[in-house]
Structure 1
């Protein structure tokens, strides 16, 4: 009996080891920003997308184990008949629906009669494979809300409805707030521009949107707001006259909608991640008192700064992981990819166990 129990225990231990996901070494040897990972069960493969890697387009990396990544080459380029974008191809996210793969991305729209410096819109391209090639479904952006937008994220609800989340750019969007008044009084900036996160329902055929966009998240107005300090660090440290709410990512857990988002300058050390929750995919959302849940650690003995624009994926082990970009002393100004575990406790509090470095 003792031998049998020992064998059962050993089998259980070996099973757990076999089914567990061994975490990669951070940072990955992949120089991309705004990373997004999907797992395709048919190929038993992870695919990693992000900003960078090629001019006016996107590349993809593949991996079987989240540790060793292979560059599969260019999956999208604007050198195609229907392309509407001219530059600044950012923040790709890929979704698999009905055995087709859909690429949502941001770019600078060629239709620019007022010669705007930031004429960003969101487009959709489709492919039969996660490695492309992806072809634009239309020769124009998904829609035009009347201001520049970036950072598309899509959530599909239980009833099949698709919701698009995006960030209005800071460009030409000065906002009055106590933080802006403080910065002006200090002689830092005459005005502070802001980016805000919106949500809107998508048409089933992805030809546009349904109804008007709804404002979901924005930087705090009052200086004593609990979120004001961490969301205003780029302004407080005289880095730039902008406050961002961008890189949103929505998922559902235990009947609660979690929206993760990034604040501060993407190119600076203070880029960080927080989250908000709601009972409805279009809000209202309440920011967590535990924000930020991911931030630089170089002031705490670590070597990571600029942590942000994250997304979430479920590994082959069934666990949730947070993928994001950051920088280290070794990588310099290059944005590189990190993967760390994410946890939601019994009280619904979200925690990212990072940033970590072991490379």
Structure 2
């Protein structure tokens, strides 16, 4: 039997900034709808049982559900805790502390939503340490502590979430916000943990250009320090440009990893013409990440064990 592959892109439509998760023994991808800011007023999601066949769930969270959101709804990052699904997202693309917007949080009883605003206001609505409040990424460590990484404009912050997942905690030194910006950081943080090490990843370059890419650091702590190691994802002259802003999937019980990211087809010049793709990511024996070669092949048929 010939092995089947997902192909890239994974599904039709212009989408970007994908977060990848496994919920209820099913693969999920939560992207940004890639369009002009005033049209980015809803989120769709996609799920699969095998990485190859994907089904779209439309409108899991919409502007109408968020009283303070009006445009530029971006970069969602959901996570499950205590049977609830918490969905962090950016809205309004605020340029100053005088504007309403930032990072919000919605909640649902299932991965497909519908999600509802948990606070009626942003969770983070101010610019701290120069970081625009966009591109949230939520990570729960093995000890149960939940961290939210975020930031644009070349600055990255981390906050710790309380047990309720909808309010901010304080670090041991009494601070709420910590800047953790590595060299060349622009936006799109992402964190995974493997063999006791913290792998912090981010996007570099301009999101609308061909040189958008992903780099990483390794640390012994979720708070860093994060010293840049190098690029692991970038354009390929025969495949696509602007490869960046990603999420990660680990096949349960294995050391098989996939990077889920967006890229721009070679035929496209519109900055918003981005599509979601997947490729294999592997680690070297010394724990460093082998740079990814982007493909048209994608991922093999990989059902989750029941």
Name the TM tier (shorter chain): 0.7 to 0.9
Mapped to 2, the partners of 1:311 and 1:145 lie a distance apart of 25
Segments of structure 1 that go 5 or more residues without pairing to the other structure are 1-13, 171-194, 220-230, 232-243
Q: How many residues end up aligned between the 2 structures?
A: 282
Counterpart selection for 1:49 from 21, 24, 30: 30
TM-score, L = length of structure 1: 0.72
Q: What is the correspondence of 1:60-75 to structure 2 with a 5 Å cutoff? A: 60-75=45-60
TM-score, normalized by length of structure 2? 0.84
Which residues of 2 match residues 66-215 of structure 1 at below 5 A? 66-80=51-65, 83-108=67-92, 114=98, 120-147=101-128, 148-167=132-151, 169-170=152-153, 195-205=154-164, 206-210=166-170, 211-215=175-179
Highest RCO, 1 vs 2 (Cα 8 Å, sep ≥ 6): 2
1:345 lines up with 2:284 in the alignment: yes
1:156–1:275 CA distance, 2 compared to 1 (3 A): same
Contact 2:140 2:146 in 1 (8 A): yes
The 3 A distance-change label for structure 1 pair 216 and 91 is same
Separation in structure 1 between the aligned mates of residue 267 and residue 189 of structure 2, nearest angstrom: 28
Q: 1:331 to 1:24 in 2, by over 3 A?
A: farther
- Name the CA distance, whole Å, in 1 between partners of 2:142 and 2:114: 30
Separation (CA, whole Å) in 1 of partners of 2:253 and 2:221: 28
Contact 2:124-2:133 within 8 A present in 1 as well: no
User: By percentage of residues, which structure has more helix?
Assistant: 1
- Kindly report which structure 2 residues correspond to 1:229-268, keeping only aligned pairs within 5 A, or say none: 231=184, 245-268=186-209
Distance 1:280 1:166 in 2: 17
Confirm whether residue 304 of structure 1 aligns to residue 240 of structure 2: yes
State which structure, 1 or 2, has the greater radius of gyration over its C-alpha atoms.
1
Which one of 273, 279, 285 corresponds to residue 220 of structure 2?
279
What is the alpha-carbon distance in structure 2 between the residues aligned to residue 22 and residue 276 of structure 1? 33
1:28 maps to which residue? 10
Q: Is the 8 A contact 2:93 2:134 kept in 1?
A: no
> Could you list the runs of 5+ residues in structure 2 that have no partner in the other structure?
299-306
